[in-house]
Structure 1
Amino acid sequence: MDLITGAEVTVSRTVAVPIDRMWELVTAIERYGEWSPETVGGHWLDDAREPAVWARFAGHNRFPSGFESRVTCVVIAAERPAAFAWVVPDEAGVVGSTWRYELRAGHQPGTTVVRHSFTHGPGVTGARVEGETDPRTFEERLITILRNMTTTINAMTTSDNRIGAVR
């Protein structure tokens, strides 16, 4: 039985950033290295300049173990300002993970409800390989992903309030 495919973690927060600005932040993949504990860089591929379904971008990640990876991500949702999502295929082209942001206006003016989720796919990932050997490592990885998603959202919204933030 496959206990890894479909495993999901989700964080939902209300942030003091207007929804249109939050859309700009979650789709600014070139800035993720400023915010994420693991992602150290990203850039659009194939002459893409903004999110669109089937657009591709590269991500560069560094894990606490020191392991580094470069992945190619494919956008599967780009519905301004409501949803931005991408998949990370494995070497065989099978979805290893899906990352999704859903945004909606908050109850207070100028706020946004941000829902960020990670879902493990059927593809081969480092988390799958380690988790099939020791399920506790996969559970720990999910906890780390959840913490990192929360940290990233916090950093996005904090950086947006700094003087001189890119707009």
Structure 2
Amino acid sequence: MEWTGACYADTPTTEVRVWIDAPPDMVWAVVSDIELMPGMSEELRSVEWLDGAAGPAVGARFVGRSEHEAFGAWETTSHVIECEARSVLAWAVEDPARPSAVWRFRLRPRDGGTELSQWMQLGPGRSGLSAAIDRMPEKEQKIVFVRMREFERAMTHTLAQIKQRAEA
């Protein structure tokens, strides 16, 4: 059976959403505190702001340290590319002009609470996944598909954790 799906160069994306019974201010307090994220992620081990930054703002940078069974441990520097309090927080991983990934939280008031979405785009810059694809180019679409499903599951888990904290 032939495998069909996205290639890395297609910059595949995924998005998950959740409704939270809390106002955007309370959800933003959790989303914008990136140092909470390792406690809500299976891969992310630690996060710290760089260059004296104390919170998100366009141009602020942070380092994240992650670990995955198949990829080992790695460290990346991310650059905040969008930041509007109670509305959106996005960052590009490594080179903002050609990131290895882009991540975005978007908050929208809805039905007396907040709709929170988390979106991510893989590529176009090289990432740890690129090495796996280099070793097995014939399996590129399957590698990308599996990794995108991992991201989707992880994001669903993260949003559930944010929901729990914001509603508490």
TM-score range, shorter chain: 0.7 to 0.9
SS of residue matched to 1:159:
helix
Equivalent residue in structure 2 for 1:22, among 20, 27, 32: 27
Structure-2 change in CA distance of 1:66 and 1:120 (3 Å): closer
Letter in 2 for 1:27: S
Structure 2 residue aligned with 1:165 = none
Letter in 2 for 1:129: A
Equivalent residue in structure 1 for 2:159, among 153, 162, 165: 153
Identity level (%): 27
Which has the higher relative contact order, 1 or 2, with Cα contacts under 8 A spaced 6 or more apart? 2
Gaps of 5+ in 2: 1-5
Once residues 65 and 97 of structure 2 are traced to their aligned partners in structure 1, the CA distance between those partners, rounded to angstroms, is 18
Letter in 1 for 2:144: F
- Give the structure with the larger helix fraction: 2
Offset of residue 150 of structure 1: 0.7
TM superposition score normalised by structure 1: 0.87
Letter in 2 for 1:95: P
Gaps of 5+ in 1: 163-167
Report whether the alignment pairs 1:141 with 2:143: no
Once residues 161 and 19 of structure 1 are traced to their aligned partners in structure 2, the CA distance between those partners, rounded to angstroms, is 11
Letter in 1 for 2:165: S
* Contact in 1 for aligned 2:20/2:166 (Cα 8 Å): no
Equivalent residue in structure 2 for 1:118, among 109, 113, 120: 120
Structure 1 residue aligned with 2:104 = 100
Once residues 38 and 7 of structure 2 are traced to their aligned partners in structure 1, the CA distance between those partners, rounded to angstroms, is 31
* Contact in 2 for aligned 1:103/1:113 (Cα 8 Å): yes
Between Structure 1 and Structure 2, how many residues are aligned?
Answer: 158
Offset of residue 130 of structure 1: 2.3
Offset of residue 156 of structure 1: 1.9
